[in-house]
């Protein structure tokens, strides 16, 4: 039985991971959970999964959590009282529990970086959903992975598709370690993108895009931040950088292709021009399960793919003018070093400002570009963890300043 810790257990990735554990009680058990603020759901998860340890990012809520668990315990509605932790130290502790075999990283944003590093340093295998962590800190993250021998299993559906396709090649061993070493014989990666909420909108129509428009995804049900990232296509840009670091390909070997049905989850082209793809309904449970069951495959009762029901699979080139975030991500990825951390942090802050209705949807790429441009003066090629954290903080602050000043940038 595999022991799992779930970071960000109350989110979209976290809850789906726990659903898988419930479906396979003989294979998996939960030892650790972390969450930010949703105590009602967290308490429910603690009752169901009886973890050893639980951490709350927001330390101030610990007394409330304890009170709720005490009440349940007195009513004999709690089978096991977990050890409780709070704050950054607490998250790191739960990410590195002795008994855990695999840590699923479902925290959103760069907030997941330190717990993910703690898990690696403790030698845990990682099911990586939290792509922002790798994108911001690959120069720190990848050498740590190598040192610890932890395995990085991609939970992002596109990277899982690539990973799954690579299992059938002679380089599976190399690819599975995912430490940015070039995979020989892998000539090209094609990342598929649904096109997000505004796929069928014209550029002109984007001027009237609202928060509610941007947070309705046509194919996937996900957290708010990644749903907005899908609408700007920054999510795909971030995934290009993620693919670069995971599979070691140059940026000119990684392409984005719009595939509105989200049935093909990505493709690889091999040296002999053969193209391999992985297909399935758009459902994150499959890539998450594969991280958990790898290298095995479990029998599931899940809805089986019927291509006659889908009817047709279509493909389009993405429109760079409509989705400027893609090019910003390629550019930051090519620069490398601290630039992806700045891009990522600027994007996180810009999306937060957009969700709070402080900036318009079309301002998101503008503030990110400004932040990356400004960072060129302080760029570092091979940063330490402290330097990554410092540029991350700088970039968020810089975006906040642009927004609070309401500069001409946001009016043009």
Cβ distance 282 to 218 under 8 Å? no
Q: Would you say 10 or 157 has its CB closer to Mg ion? A: 157
From candidates 21, 226, 325, 388, binder to ligand NAD by CB under 6 A: 226
If one asks whether residue 223 binds ligand NAD (CB under 6 A), the answer comes out as yes
If one asks whether residue 219 binds ligand NAD (CB under 6 A), the answer comes out as no
Closest approach of Cβ 234 to Mg ion, in Å? 12
Cβ distance 335 to 316 under 8 Å? no
Residue 12 binds which entry of Mg ion, ligand NAD, none, CB below 5-8 Å type-dependent:
ligand NAD
From candidates 222, 240, 359, 391, binder to ligand NAD by CB under 6 A: 222
Neighbour count for residue 344 (Cβ, 10 Å): 29
Q: Which helix (H) or strand (E) holds 401?
A: helix 385-405
Q: 28 forms bridges with which residues in the sheet?
A: 2
If one asks whether residue 196 binds ligand NAD (CB under 6 A), the answer comes out as no
d(CA 204, CA 23): 46
From candidates 3, 18, 108, 372, binder to ligand NAD by CB under 6 A: 108
Alpha helices in 26-84 (DSSP H): 39-49, 62-74
Closest approach of Cβ 45 to ligand NAD, in Å? 10
Closest approach of Cβ 284 to Mg ion, in Å? 9
From candidates 69, 107, 214, 263, binder to ligand NAD by CB under 6 A: 107
Residue 226 binds which entry of Mg ion, ligand NAD, none, CB below 5-8 Å type-dependent:
ligand NAD
122-141 residues near ligand NAD, rule: CB under 6 A? 129-132
Cis peptide bond prior to 159, omega within 30° of 0: no
Closest approach of Cβ 131 to Mg ion, in Å? 8
Segment contacting ligand NAD by CB under 6 A, of 7-15, 172-180, 210-218, 303-311: 7-15
Using Cβ positions, the residue closest to Mg ion within the complex turns out to be: 156
d(CA 368, CA 131): 18
Count of residues binding Mg ion (CB under 5 A)?
3
From candidates 3, 4, 13, 231, binder to ligand NAD by CB under 6 A: 13
Q: Which helix (H) or strand (E) holds 83?
A: strand 83-86
Closest approach of Cβ 224 to ligand NAD, in Å? 6
Closest to 399 in 3D by CA, of 376, 360, 366, 377: 366
Q: Would you say 93 or 236 has its CB closer to Mg ion? A: 236
Segment contacting ligand NAD by CB under 6 A, of 11-19, 326-334, 352-360, 361-369: 11-19
Q: How many CA atoms lie within 13 A of 279 on its CB side?
A: 11
Cβ distance 9 to 91 under 8 Å? no
Tell me, residue by residue from 31 to 70, as one string, x for binding to ligand NAD by CB under 6 A and - for no binding. ----xx--------------------x-------------
If one asks whether residue 229 binds Mg ion (CB under 5 A), the answer comes out as no
**In the structure encoding, which two tokens stand for residue 293, read together?**
């069951």
Cβ distance 270 to 1 under 8 Å? no
d(CA 56, CA 66): 11
Q: Would you say 211 or 275 has its CB closer to ligand NAD? A: 211
Closest to 199 in 3D by CA, of 236, 225, 156, 224: 236
If one asks whether residue 156 binds Mg ion (CB under 5 A), the answer comes out as yes
From candidates 52, 125, 156, 369, binder to ligand NAD by CB under 6 A: 156
**In the structure encoding, which two tokens stand for residue 159, read together?**
């990277």
Q: 127 forms bridges with which residues in the sheet?
A: 104, 153
**In the structure encoding, which two tokens stand for residue 120, read together?**
């690696």
Segment contacting ligand NAD by CB under 6 A, of 118-126, 222-230, 307-315, 380-388: 222-230
Cβ distance 1 to 27 under 8 Å? yes
d(CA 256, CA 193): 7
Using Cβ positions, the residue closest to ligand NAD within the complex turns out to be: 11
- Chain residues binding ligand NAD by CB under 6 A are 8-14, 35-36, 57, 106-108, 111, 129-132, 156, 220, 222-223, 226, 284
> Which residues sit at the interface with Mg ion, rule CB under 5 A?
156-158
């Amino acid at each position: 039985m595999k022991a799992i810790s779930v970071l960000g257990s109350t989110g979209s990735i976290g809850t789906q991971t726990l659903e898988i554990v419930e479906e396979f009680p003989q294979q998996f058990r939960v030892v650790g959970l972390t969450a930010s603020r949703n105590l009602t759901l967290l308490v429910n998860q603690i009752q169901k999964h009886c973890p050893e340890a639980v951490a709350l990012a927001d330390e101030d809520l610990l007394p409330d959590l304890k009170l709720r668990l005490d009440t349940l315990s007195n009513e004999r509605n709690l089978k096991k009282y977990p050890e409780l932790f709070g704050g950054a130290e607490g998250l790191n502790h739960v990410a590195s529990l002795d008994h855990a075999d695999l840590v699923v990283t479902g925290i959103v944003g760069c907030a997941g970086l330190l717990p993910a590093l703690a898990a690696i340093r403790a030698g845990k295998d990682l099911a990586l959903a939290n792509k922002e962590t790798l994108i911001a800190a690959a120069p720190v993250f990848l050498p740590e992975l190598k040192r610890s021998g932890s395995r990085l299993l991609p939970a992002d559906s596109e990277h899982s598709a690539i990973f799954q396709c690579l299992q059938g090649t002679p380089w599976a061993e190399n690819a599975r370690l995912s430490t940015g070493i070039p995979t020989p014989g892998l000539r090209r990666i094609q990342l598929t993108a649904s096109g997000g909420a505004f796929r069928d909108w014209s550029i002109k129509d984007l001027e009237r895009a609202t928060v509610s428009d941007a947070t309705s995804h046509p194919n996937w049900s996900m957290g708010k931040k990644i749903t907005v990232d899908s609408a700007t296509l920054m999510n795909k840009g971030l995934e290009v950088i993620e693919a670069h670091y995971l599979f070691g390909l140059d940026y000119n070997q990684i392409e984005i292709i719009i595939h509105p049905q989200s049935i093909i989850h990505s493709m690889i082209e091999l040296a002999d021009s053969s193209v391999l793809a992985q297909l399935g309904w758009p459902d994150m449970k499959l890539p998450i399960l594969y991280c958990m069951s790898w290298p095995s495959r479990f029998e599931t009762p899940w809805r089986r793919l019927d291509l006659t029901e889908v009817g047709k699979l279509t493909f389009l080139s993405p429109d760079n003018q409509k989705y400027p975030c893609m090019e910003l991500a390629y550019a930051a990825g090519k620069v490398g070093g601290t630039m992806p951390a700045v891009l990522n942090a600027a994007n996180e802050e810009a999306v937060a400002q957009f969700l709070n209705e402080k900036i318009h949807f079309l301002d998101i790429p503008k503030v990110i570009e400004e932040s990356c441009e400004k960072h060129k003066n302080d760029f570092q090629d091979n940063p330490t963890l402290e330097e990554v954290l410092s540029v991350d903080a700088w970039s968020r602050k810089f975006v906040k300043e642009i927004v609070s000043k309401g500069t001409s940038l946001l009016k043009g």
